[in-house]
Amino acid sequence: MDDWTLVQDFLNNRSERAFMRLYRAKTPHLYRMALRLTQDEYQSEELVQEMWIVATRKLPTFQWKSELKTWLIGILINLYRSMRREAEKKIIAKAEQLSELETASQSWNESDSDLEKAIALLPPGYRQAIILHDIEGYKHREIAEILDISEGTSKSQLFYARKAIREYLNDGKKKQNGNA
Amino acid sequence: MAMREDKLSKKEKKRFDQLPREKEPPKKMEKFLLHRLDEEGLLTRKSKKQVYVKWAISVAASLLLFVSGIFYERLNSSDIVLIEPSKGYMLLLHEDNSFVPAEPKEMFYEYKNWMESTFERGVKITGQELKDEAVLVNQDGQSEVKNHERTTGYFILEAKTLGEAIKVAQENPHIKYGGTIEVKQYMVR
């Protein structure tokens, strides 16, 4: 069933069954992305649930100017950024806890992949850029729209993200060679 | 890795391409989300559905017990379904994420019709829906079952042959909705 049919089916009757079809078709991809963004299972679950709440409210006004997936990713990332802003506000009062929380928030990593680890260590802005560009395959123009930033900022964040990842991977290689 | 600051090398691109794109979310998330959507009025006919629809098997099982009482009474003047062990079979109902339930009313009547037609051809049967939560107990203690596939109900029935039990299972609406049914024969020593 294509995206349009899934959405129309849901909007026609708003039944649980129609929603579940839509949910099951789209959520595995969004959940994976949420895990990469937050590096935390609990936050990812919260994020994806919140995304669906917002999406089901806004679906009747969705104009299909982008793919459904892109639209959902946009909601997901904006919620993630709001979540971070809220967390940062709370943290300002307890600045000394920041590093602890950052460490805790990087608890999810089911993969042994060095690349996944390197992505996990990136600052959030860089992480968003590299996930959207190098993993999801979006263009800078699309990323700029999703993140509400300029194309220049997107390019710059991608540049520094790749640089940081290469440094991380090269350091890993050097260590391996040193141990050999 | 070959380094090009403005572009990924082929090798680098391949590594990104190999990263997994999907991950199945935990089943509990589905339930929480449906509950929230229901609370916020974003789905039609909710609270009733939660009780009536989602657990159609439970309703159907209750009905089954009721129906079985009537049918058995006709046959044996009793309201209990007794299964002859040498003819006993268990149907274990499994689901994974491909299971998509229908509208509650539709499911209810399908299960009801399935039970009635099963009885009408002389197959004694009873059953029960099971909760999703399960615990594995072993020598090391216990742990929560996190299998992708869930066992969501069972029926026990009396059939002349394994083939007859399989036929009953094949006709169960659970199959149509994407579930699977495991047919097991009683072991009699």
Q: Is residue B172 part of a domain?
A: yes
Q: What is the mean pLDDT of residues B67-88?
A: 55
Q: Under a CB-based contact definition with an 8 Å cutoff, are residues A36 and A119 in contact?
A: yes
By C-alpha distance, the chain A residue nearest B36 is: A53
Q: Of the candidates A97, A11, A117, which has an alpha carbon nearest to the alpha carbon of residue A62?
A: A11
- Please check whether residue A97 touches B, CB under 8 A: no
Question: Are residues B164 and B72 both part of a single domain?
Answer: yes
Measured between beta carbons, the chain B residues lying within 8 angstroms of A20 are 30, 34, 100-101
Write the residue in A27, A53, A169 that is nearest to B25 by C-beta.
A27
Q: Under a CB-based contact definition with an 8 Å cutoff, are residues A93 and A33 in contact?
A: no
**pLDDT of A1-57, one tens digit each?**
799 999 999 998 898 889 999 999 999 999 999 999 999 898 999 999 999 999 999
Question: Are residues B116 and B103 both part of a single domain?
Answer: yes
| CATH of residue B109 | 3.30.70.1060
In the 8-state DSSP scheme, what is residue B182? E
Q: Is residue B37 part of a domain?
A: yes
- Please check whether residue A28 touches B, CB under 8 A: yes
Write the residue in A21, A28, A116 that is nearest to B22 by C-beta.
A28
Q: What is the ipTM of this complex?
A: 0.80
Helix orientation angle between A68-92 and A16-38, rounded to the nearest 10 degrees: 50
Question: Are residues B37 and B76 both part of a single domain?
Answer: no
Question: Are residues B138 and B46 both part of a single domain?
Answer: no
Q: Is residue B5 part of a domain?
A: no
Question: Are residues B50 and B122 both part of a single domain?
Answer: no
Encoded amino acid at B180, one letter: T
Question: Are residues B32 and B71 both part of a single domain?
Answer: no
Q: Is residue B34 part of a domain?
A: yes
Please provide residue B158's backbone torsions phi and psi, each rounded to the nearest 5 degrees.
-110, 120
**pLDDT of B126-163, one tens digit each?**
877 787 778 889 888 887 777 677 888 888 899 999 99
Model pLDDT, residue B80: 55
- Cβ contact, residue pair B26, A45, below 8 Å: yes
Helix orientation angle between B27-39 and A41-58, rounded to the nearest 10 degrees: 40
- Please check whether residue A53 touches B, CB under 8 A: yes
- Cβ contact, residue pair B33, A14, below 8 Å: no
- Cβ contact, residue pair B101, A169, below 8 Å: no
Q: Is residue B1 part of a domain?
A: no
Task: Give chain A's mean pLDDT.
Answer: 86
Look up residue B44 and give its two tokens: 């039609």
Question: Are residues B69 and B45 both part of a single domain?
Answer: no
Question: Are residues B75 and B62 both part of a single domain?
Answer: yes
Model pLDDT, residue A51: 97
- Please check whether residue B25 touches A, CB under 8 A: yes
Question: Are residues B32 and B61 both part of a single domain?
Answer: no
Q: Is residue B2 part of a domain?
A: no
Q: Is residue B122 part of a domain?
A: yes
Q: Is residue B7 part of a domain?
A: no
Model pLDDT, residue A105: 45
Question: Are residues B84 and B123 both part of a single domain?
Answer: yes
Radius of gyration of chain A (CA): 18
Encoded amino acid at A97, one letter: Q
Distance from C-alpha of B185 to C-alpha of A91, rounded to nearest angstrom: 61
Question: Are residues B49 and B64 both part of a single domain?
Answer: no
Lowest mean pLDDT among A28-37, A69-78, B62-71: B62-71
Query: Can you list the domains of chain A with their CATH numbers?
Result: 1-108 (1.10.1740.10), 110-180 (1.10.10.10)
**pLDDT of A52-73, one tens digit each?**
999 999 999 999 989 999 999 9
Predicted confidence band of residue B81 (pLDDT cuts 50, 70, 90): low
Percentage of chain A with pLDDT > 90? 62
Question: Are residues B117 and B49 both part of a single domain?
Answer: no
Q: Domain range for residue B100?
A: 57-185
Measured between beta carbons, the chain B residues lying within 8 angstroms of A14 are 42-44
Number of structural domains (chain B) is 2
